[in-house]
Amino acid sequence: MTASVAKRKPKLPSQALLAKTFHWVNIIALLLMMASGLQIYNANPVFGGRAGWDFPDAVLLGGWLGGGRAWHFAIMWIYSLNLLAYGVYVFVTRRWQHRFASSGDLKALRASQNEKRKNFAKHRLIYTIIVPVLLLAIASGLAMYKPAQLHWLAALFGDWQTLRTVHFMTVPLVLAFSLVHSLLALKVGQLRLVKSMFF
């Protein structure tokens, strides 16, 4: 009886070890960057000036402004290089052919009666949309990291407050992507698919 139960137990989808590694590094780095970024935010809130709302100590990393900046800039390199490595991996393995939206996906969203096909199209669409958001987060972060050396990049955002606001607003967009990305994965492959990406 135990053997028959084991046979009926669905097997986890197979994911490449590199894909799992990229996901783990991405999530850990993103959480550390958010915590240290909120530490920096508390020193000079983007919204509301000095009287702006502070985030609680429980979600902060760094202890003070200098500590938050040190953590944020250190993890920035890990996060950015991981994204770059993942981009190269997607390109070399040709996974981009199945990851990014095409005209066929847009057509499926409008006219397809196949719910599974529409879910895949939605997944590829948000996967495509997040790319410019990540590039914007990195570009605005680098402009604040080295405003003198990268003055031309900082100038693209206008003034300093606009630059800080743009950088801050990329955070909820990345979080929204992560949530939708996970929910669509659950819808397409249930918890088995999500587990396969990490274990």
Is there a single domain that holds both residue 78 and residue 109?
A: no
pLDDT digits (tens, 9 = 90+) for 87-110: 888 888 887 777 777 777 788 878
Is there a single domain that holds both residue 58 and residue 146?
A: no
Is there a single domain that holds both residue 125 and residue 60?
A: no
Q: Using a cut of 0.85, tell me whether the model's pTM lies above it.
A: no
Q: Please compute the mean of the pLDDT values over residues 33-51 and round it to a whole number.
A: 85
Is there a single domain that holds both residue 47 and residue 112?
A: no
Which of 42, 71, 93 is at the close of a domain? 93
Report the share of the chain in percent with pLDDT over 90.
Answer: 39
pLDDT digits (tens, 9 = 90+) for 165-196: 999 999 899 888 888 877 877 777 666 666 66
| Number of domains forming the structure of the chain | 2
Residue listed under structure tokens 């529409």: 118
Is there a single domain that holds both residue 80 and residue 116?
A: no
Q: Are 165 and 143 in contact (CB under 8 A)?
A: no
Q: Measured between alpha carbons, how far is 185 from 61 in angstroms, rounded to an integer?
A: 30
Is there a single domain that holds both residue 106 and residue 189?
A: yes
Which of 47, 77, 93 is at the close of a domain? 93
What's the Cα-to-Cα distance from 149 to each of 27, 143, 154, 155, 193, rounded to whole Å?
A: 30, 9, 10, 12, 44
Q: Please compute the mean of the pLDDT values over residues 121-133 and round it to a whole number.
A: 85
Q: Which residue range(s) make up the domain with 53?
A: 16-93
Q: Please compute the mean of the pLDDT values over residues 52-60 and round it to a whole number.
A: 87
Q: Is the dihedral of CA 112, 117, 123, 128 positive or negative?
A: negative
The answer to whether residue 144 sits within a structural domain is yes
3-state secondary structure 90-126: HHHCCCHHHHCCCHHHHHHHHHCCCHHHHHHHHHHHH
pLDDT digits (tens, 9 = 90+) for 1-19: 455 444 555 555 566 777 7
